[in-house]
Structure 1
Amino acid sequence: MTPVSGKKEKNEWFEWTKAIIVAILIALFLRTFIFATSIVEGESMDPTLEHGERVIFNKLIYILDEPDRGDVVIIQRPAKNYVKRVIGLPGETIELNGNDLIIDGEEYTQSFLSEDVMYKTGNFGPIKIPEESYFVMGDNRLISKDSRNGLGFIHEDEIIGRSELIIYPFSEWSLTK
């Protein structure tokens, strides 16, 4: 081995090491500040999300914007994270009357619900949502622990991202709506 080829080999190792370190740093940055994954536990979001599915959620979206009605969000609580749908926004008055969702006195169409769930929602409210808080529910209303029964109002700081994409199982790859 000549001195030139030894130097070239060392330089190649240095370049590979540098590329790997940069790739790891980019991945850590993306995972920490932009995207992360979460596993859906339970059946409270059926049929939109099923137990065991892994979703990618966008952490940056709510730094730049606010949650909107219909968004599927990740809620961070000390014991565990929850995946729920935003139903009511800060300052609104919400009421559930059987299969009717009434927001500020007007009926709202819940296109994301299956018919069998929609007719079993029950009655709730009317109740005014505090400022800087949201009212969330699971799509499977019969078994969902949500703002009606256990989670209460969700403060905007507890919403850590919006579900964007189902990535596992691979046969279920799709955007969450």
Structure 2
Amino acid sequence: MDFDFEKDKNSLVKKILIEILIWAAQIAAVIFLAYFIIYYCVEKTNVIGISMENTLYANDPIIINKFSYRVSDPKRFDVIVFKQSGKEHSFYNIKRIIGLPGETILIKEGKIYINGEEIEDIVNAEEMVNYGLAAEEITLEDNEYFVLGDNRNNSEDSRFASIGNIRRDEIVGKAALRLSPFNFISKLNLKKSQD
């Protein structure tokens, strides 16, 4: 029986190199997948402030669905997460969409009017006492959204110049899940007829 030490050595080196390449490819794939998920799909953040009470409370951990608005447009009453560049805040804001692109918003006598028609709010919220800029009609541009906090009398939102209308490119994603206690955000604090 012939024993070819050089051939066996080359075969072993080749086998080790192939295993190292496979291992490196697997690590690269995991890193790429993690980056893709965090950048394009989901992100965790915490609620700041009281503007979304009684739906979300300060420091509630939530998951942002960043993917949904890559394939569809935001809808009325979606709870969104946005970040405005060039504003005094550099953190994520969380509010509820009330007005959609091209619509005209007016708030009077505690009621919200879209294109001249009163809309029925889906959340349990106090009647607004400060209508801010929306005391007069606001017409949204093709890429703008009008948002309100669910804590209507303690929310800095589209009624005020410090926030104003939200541009589509400022929206990070949809607030999807509250982690503790766990629940779908779209199911929280709804009027009974909306459950």
Letter in 2 for 1:157: D
Of 164, 187, 192 in structure 2, the residue corresponding to residue 152 of structure 1 is: 164
**Counterparts of residues 138-149 of structure 1 (less than 5 Å):** 138-149=149-160
Letter in 2 for 1:154: I
| SS of residue matched to 1:96 | strand
Letter in 2 for 1:161: G
Of 97, 102, 113 in structure 2, the residue corresponding to residue 102 of structure 1 is: 113
**Counterparts of residues 1-177 of structure 1 (less than 5 Å):** 19-78=26-85, 79-114=90-125, 117=126, 119-123=127-131, 124-149=135-160, 150-167=162-179, 169=180, 172-177=181-186
Give the drift of 1:64. 1.3
RMSD across aligned C-alpha pairs, in angstroms? 2.4
Give the drift of 1:80. 1.9
Give the drift of 1:46. 0.6
| SS of residue matched to 2:53 | coil
* Range with greater deviation from structure 2 (122-131 or 138-147): 122-131
Letter in 1 for 2:149: G
Q: Write the distance in 1 (CA, Å) between the matches of 2:42 and 2:175.
A: 10
Letter in 2 for 1:120: M
Q: Write the distance in 1 (CA, Å) between the matches of 2:109 and 2:92.
A: 28
Q: Write the distance in 1 (CA, Å) between the matches of 2:53 and 2:184.
A: 15
| SS of residue matched to 1:111 | coil
Kept in 2, the 8 Å contact 1:97–1:122? The answer is: no
Across the two proteins, how many residue pairs are aligned to each other? 169
What runs of 5+ residues in structure 1 fail to find an aligned partner? none
| SS of residue matched to 2:106 | strand
Identity %: 33
Q: What is the CA deviation profile of residues 147-171 of structure 1, one whole-angstrom value per residue up to 9, with x for unaligned ones?
A: 111211111111120111111x3xx
Q: Write the distance in 2 (CA, Å) between the matches of 1:120 and 1:85.
A: 15
| SS of residue matched to 2:101 | coil
| SS of residue matched to 2:31 | helix
Kept in 1, the 8 Å contact 2:77–2:122? The answer is: no
Between Structure 1 and Structure 2, the one with more strand by share is: 1
Q: Write the distance in 1 (CA, Å) between the matches of 2:165 and 2:175.
A: 19
Q: Write the distance in 2 (CA, Å) between the matches of 1:56 and 1:158.
A: 17
Give the structure-1-normalised TM-score.
0.82
Q: Write the distance in 1 (CA, Å) between the matches of 2:82 and 2:157.
A: 11
Give the structure-2-normalised TM-score.
0.75
